[in-house]
Amino acid sequence: MVNKLTIIDRYKKKIKLLNKHNKLYFNNDNPEISDSEYDNLKKEINDLEKNNIFLKKLKLNRTLVGSPPSNKFKKVKHLKPMLSLSNAFKKEDMKDFLKKINNFLNTKDNNIELSSEPKIDGISATLIYEKGILTKGLSRGDGIVGEDILENLKTIKNIPKKINDNEVPSLLEIRGEIYIGKKEFNKLKGNFANPRNAAGGSLRQKDPKETSKIPLQYFAYGFGFIEPMKFNTQSEFLKMISNWGFSTNPLSKVVKNLEEIEQQHSKVDSIRSSLDYDIDGLVYKVNNLKLQLRLGNTSNSPRWAIAYKFSAEKAVTKIKDIVIQVGRTGAITPVAKVEPVTVGGVVVSNATLHNEDEINRKDIRIGDTIQIQRAGDVIPQVISVDISKRNKDSLKYIFPEKCLCGSITKKELNKSTKKEDAVRRCFRGFDCNFIAKEKLKHIVSKDSFNIDGLGKKVIDQFWELKLIRKPSDIFTINYSKIRGLEGWGDLSIDNLKKAIEKSRIIELNRFIFSIGIRHIGQESAKILASYFKSIKRFLDLFDEEKRQKNLKNLVDLDGIGEIQIESIDNFFSNNKNVEIVKNLVNVLKIKDFKAQNKKGKFSNKNIMFTGGFDKMSRSEAKSLVENNGGKVLGTISKKLDILVIGNSKPTKKKIESAKKLNIKIIKEEEWYKTLNL
């Protein structure tokens, strides 16, 4: 007979193992064992407990979480993308936000209504009601495709399963944030670093019964798709859904100007610690939904909303050393290595010093006592130096003139301001190992190839191992070299392989963005993709003659200027870049660019504007053309279909050239009519 002590021993070991794997998955997001191995382990523990009642008395801390990830949740496309928010940190940023709104709408409204709501630090989820019945529930995923977590969401008590009102829209998509109350989180004492992780872990349980054990809650804050639409303002929407049984945040309030924004901000900040849920700021949304629609989105975030984060936490520490870092564009950033200090619950040992000018302005030296601040997720900054604590023989910091690769750095002359840049740069591109590594990090990042499991740290690791030195290496990794290394089990290798395979198929615009041509961001990459259409045509840029021909045409595109054109020319004049891009293209399948919303009033039409409009800004006019399938050009040419003349100061020369080319010309009033405005 197996004795009691042996059983206790075996039981303890298994619990320890279970907790280890829970931690690997839930805290480190890096599971080492497969789902079935995990399930077996859990079953063994359950069996031991069932057959040996005395084990329960040991009250071993078995984490509440049930099973590891599940690739098994069904992936479902969101009816409308779930975007993220841009951030504001100070009053000035909010002033800018209001100014941008007014500029876009071409108004001068100092009292634009905003709905202010706490930004809950939880996990976002979206709920779809068909004829008032909850039929779908999705996680955010990458914002475009989410995971079907309906059954788990249904276990949350304050999520209505049915809306009892005949007036409810037949299709209603409610968006909100799932969280765990702070008190409940403290009771859990699980393996999680914070309530947010615990909520995420609970939601990703394969078995909804496990989710139901953790007291999750939900605040509804917005909508995706609604048909028929019956709301005029965000505040009206919140009131109505609260009547329908959704929990909305009681601290939501309509405010009208910068002063009221600041007031509400300090008010909520002062009671923040007494709330039972974590918030990291307030979200401000333009209240009028028609205006929201006019404002629309940029690539990642709406123009009508912003997250105003609570003020940065500060701390005092000492500079141990100043080192330089090299970014993917060659920018040299000085970083202060500081004595570790806790700022807002996070241990900080690095702080950015921005650039050479900043160091000179503040006369920052090694050994100085400094104040640092950390706002949101951004890198902590040095705000001031305490000169009174400075050592008498401290020396002025001399900024290195060489890059870490040894080559001389330079400050460029800014073409538009005609001033010297504050930033020094290394110009060796992929030839500089430090730049090359950063370029790799950019290539695998979310907005580029978006390779799950291949983050910055892994790139550092694989770089050291010489597994990846140039972009195409990502697709030919020798996996036998990483098997057995710390953090790499069969399951994680398998997941990485799958993620890399998946990323081989990429849209042209993403590809263009990912190769990291300076001054070509996501928006310009899209404009270029819509011009070139296919990778075959894009590769014309390799050939000097064809490149010059194409670059000449690019001048016509609105949003591509001289700076971008010169940068593209520079990039492709460099043989190393050409070789790297060629090798990468060879291992990929790059999809032709397909513009969204191609169908519309301006399908396949090229439009140009001259002069200002009374009722809208140039930016809004541009996005109206694009949302209706058209393209906005920056110069008059035979390709132009319509020239729209605004009432305020149109350029005569442009009108004359358009007339000569027999291009259709319409006036501002007709433009509004065309759009039924």
Residues with a catalytic annotation lie at: 119
- List the interface residues with ligand IVH, window 169-188 (CB under 6 A): 177
User: To 10 degrees, what angle do helices 522-532 and 544-554 make?
Assistant: 110
User: What is the nearest approach in angstroms of ligand IVH to the Cβ of residue 453?
Assistant: 22
Give the span between the Cα atoms of 666 and 644, in whole angstroms.
5
Instruction: Return the residue nearest ligand IVH (CB atom).
Output: 124
299 in contact with ligand IVH (CB under 6 A):
no
* CA atoms of 500 and 11, how far apart (whole Å): 39
Comparing CB distances to ligand IVH, the nearer of 177 and 438 is 177
Instruction: Identify which of residues 115 and 333 has a Cβ nearer to ligand IVH in the complex.
Output: 115
Judged by CB under 6 A, the stretch of 300-308, 332-340, 349-357, 404-412 that binds ligand IVH is 300-308
Query: Is 302 a binder of ligand IVH (CB under 6 A)?
Result: yes
Q: Which stretch binds ligand IVH (CB under 6 A): 79-87, 96-104, 308-316, 417-425?
A: 79-87
Q: Does 222 bind ligand IVH (CB under 6 A)?
A: yes
Which parts of 327-358 are beta strand (E)?
A: 332-343, 346-352
What are the angstrom distances between the C-alpha of 22 and each of 17, 184, 275? 9, 20, 29
SS3 call for 553? helix
**Chain centroid to CA 601: how far?**
32
Residue listed under structure tokens 């479902």: 76
149 forms part of the interface with ligand IVH (CB under 6 A): no
Q: Which residues contact 304 (CB under 8 A, 6 or more apart)?
A: 101, 285, 286, 291, 292, 295, 296
CB of 262 to ligand IVH, least distance (A): 19
Asked if 305 interacts with ligand IVH (CB under 6 A), we say: yes
Q: Whole-number minimum distance, CB 371 to ligand IVH, in Å?
A: 28
The H or E element spanning position 625 is: helix 618-627
Q: Kindly tell me which of 298 and 604 has the beta carbon lying closer to ligand IVH.
A: 298
- H helices of 52-168, in order, are 91-105, 150-154
Single out the segment in contact with ligand IVH by CB under 6 A; choices: 83-91, 130-138, 150-158, 505-513: 83-91
Instruction: Verify binding: residue 78, ligand IVH, rule CB under 6 A.
Output: no
* Residue 8 near residue 55, CB atoms below 8 Å: yes
Question: How far is Cα 574 from Cα 542, in angstroms, rounded to an integer?
Answer: 10
Binding mask 385-414 for ligand IVH (x = CB under 6 A): ------------------------------
Among 63, 124, 205, 333, binds ligand IVH (CB under 6 A): 124
Tell me, residue by residue from 565 to 604, as one string, x for binding to ligand IVH by CB under 6 A and - for no binding: ----------------------------------------
**Closest separation in Å from C-beta 255 to ligand IVH:** 14
Is 145 a binder of ligand IVH (CB under 6 A)?
A: no
Q: Rounded to the nearest whole angstrom, what is the least distance from the CB of residue 652 to ligand IVH in the complex?
A: 42
Map 287-309 to HEC letters.
CEHHHHHHHCECCCCECCEEEEE
Which one among 163, 174, 283, 435 touches ligand IVH, defined by CB under 6 A? 283
By CB under 6 A, residue 117 contacts ligand IVH: yes
Q: Which stretch binds ligand IVH (CB under 6 A): 113-121, 309-317, 400-408, 425-433?
A: 113-121
> Angle of helix 618-627 relative to helix 91-105, nearest 10 degrees?
70
Nearer to ligand IVH, 279 or 443 (CB): 279
Cβ count near 502 (within 10 Å)? 13
Q: How many residues bind ligand IVH (CB under 6 A)?
A: 14
Q: Which residues pair with 146 in a beta bridge?
A: 76
- Binding ligand IVH by CB under 6 A: which of 21, 119, 204, 425? 119
Which range touches ligand IVH (CB under 6 A), out of 14-22, 80-88, 93-101, 564-572? 80-88
Q: Is 84 in the site for ligand IVH (CB under 6 A)?
A: yes
Residue in this structure with the two tokens 């302005």, named with its chain if needed: 361
Q: How far is CA 615 from each of CA 30, 222, 366, 393, 620, rounded to the nearest angstrom?
A: 53, 28, 55, 63, 10
Sequence-ordered list of residues with C-beta below 8 angstroms from that of 388, at least 6 positions apart, any chain: none
Candidates 25, 89, 221, 571; binder of ligand IVH (CB under 6 A) is 221
Instruction: Please report how close the Cβ of residue 80 comes to ligand IVH at its closest, in angstroms.
Output: 10
Contact call for residue 289 and ligand IVH (CB under 6 A): no
Residue of 8, 48, 60, 83 interacting with ligand IVH (CB under 6 A)? 83
Q: 66 vs 122, which CB is nearer to ligand IVH?
A: 122
- Tell me the C-alpha distance between 654 and 656, whole Å: 5
Which is nearer to ligand IVH, 119 or 441 (by Cβ)?
119
Q: Does 138 bind ligand IVH (CB under 6 A)?
A: no
Element (H, E) at 501: helix 490-503
Closest alpha carbon to 79 in 137, 134, 124, 132: 137
Segment holding 562, helix H or strand E: helix 562-573
* Cα–Cα distance, 515 to 470 (Å, whole number): 11
Residues near ligand IVH (CB under 6 A) are: 83-85, 117, 119-120, 124, 177, 221-222, 283, 302, 305, 307
